[in-house]
Amino acid sequence: MSALLAPPTLTTEEALRERVEALEHELDAAIAPYELPGGRELKHDAVSRKRRVAERTRWFERLRSEILQVARSPAWRNHDLAVELLLTLEDLRSAIEADPDALDERWHARAAMQIMHVVVQAMLRQIDHEAIDDPAVAAKFVAEELRNVDVGEIARLLGATTKSVRNWREGRVEQIKRNPARITLIGQLVYELRSSMTSHGILLWFDAPRDHLGDRTARELIDADVADAARTLLPLARGGRAQLGG
C-alpha cells in the first residue's frame, strides 16, 4: 500500500537543491551517447528487447518520482519552470510509448531529455541565485570562487576589508553590515561568469571598459549605483557578451 503513496514533499532548501542536482546528473547520464546493440540479431532479439524495455521502464519511473518530488515542493509548485518540467516529462513519456524497441533511433526521447536538462539547469541557477541574495552567502561564495585572486583585490571589489575576506575564505561569515547590496550583486555576477572564465578573468571583466557602457567599466557602474548597475550588468553576464571586449 505504501508504494502507492505520493512521494514526500521536499521542504528544506538544501534538500531541494540536492534533489534538483541529482536530477541533472540523472539526465546527464541518460543523454550521454551510447552504442546501439551490435548486429541485427541482437537488436531485434526478443530477450534483449525485453531487457531494454524493462530497464527503460524502471528508469522512467525513477525519473518521474524525482521530478514529482521537486514539482510538489512549495518553492516550485506554482513555478513556470516546474510546469515546463512536467510538460517535458509527458513529451518523454510519449516518445517512449512510440518506441516499443527501446532504441530511440530517431532521438525523440533524447530530444525531450535535452529540453528537460535545460529546464533543470535553469532551476539550479535560480536556487543558487536565491541563496546568493543573502549577502553573507554571496561574500563566502565570492571569496571561495576567487580563491586564486589576491585578498586585497577581492576586498577592493567587494568594498570590504582584507580581514573580512580572509575570514570569509575560512568560512567565518557573520552578518554583512558594510555594502551588502554591492556584495550580493558581485556574487550574482561571479556566479554567472565562473563557468566561462578563470578567477583572474573574472576580475578583469570588472575592469574592462566597454563601448556599450560608454567606455566605463563594470566596477565603475557598481561604484556609481548598485541598483542601476544590476539592471545593466546581470543581463550582460548572463548573455553571450560577457567577453572582455566592448
Task: Say what percent of the chain tops pLDDT 90.
Answer: 50
pLDDT per residue as tens digits for the range 161-213: 999 999 898 888 878 888 999 999 999 999 999 888 898 999 999 999 988 88
Mean pLDDT over each residue of the chain, to the nearest integer: 85
Rounded CA-CA distance 241/223 in Å is 21
Contacts of 195 (CB under 8 A, 6+ apart): none
In the numeric block, which cell numbers belong to residue 87? 510538460
Cβ contacts of 210-219, under 8 Å, gap ≥ 24: 210/245, 210/246, 211/246, 212/246, 218/189, 219/157
pLDDT per residue as tens digits for the range 12-37: 667 778 888 888 888 888 887 655 55
What average pLDDT does this structure show over 103-122? 91
**C-alpha distance across the termini of the chain, in Å:** 63
In the numeric block, which cell numbers belong to residue 236? 550582460
221 burial type by CB count under 10 A (0-12 exposed, 13-18 middle, 19+ buried): buried
User: Is the predicted pLDDT of residue 230 greater than 80, yes or no?
Assistant: yes
What average pLDDT does this structure show over 102-118? 91
pLDDT per residue as tens digits for the range 70-100: 898 888 888 999 999 999 999 999 999 999 9
Q: Look up cell 508504494; give the residue.
A: 3
87 burial type by CB count under 10 A (0-12 exposed, 13-18 middle, 19+ buried): middle
DSSP secondary structure, 110-141, as one string: HHHHHHHHHHHHHHHHHHHHHHHTSHHHHHHH
Rounded CA-CA distance 218/148 in Å is 21
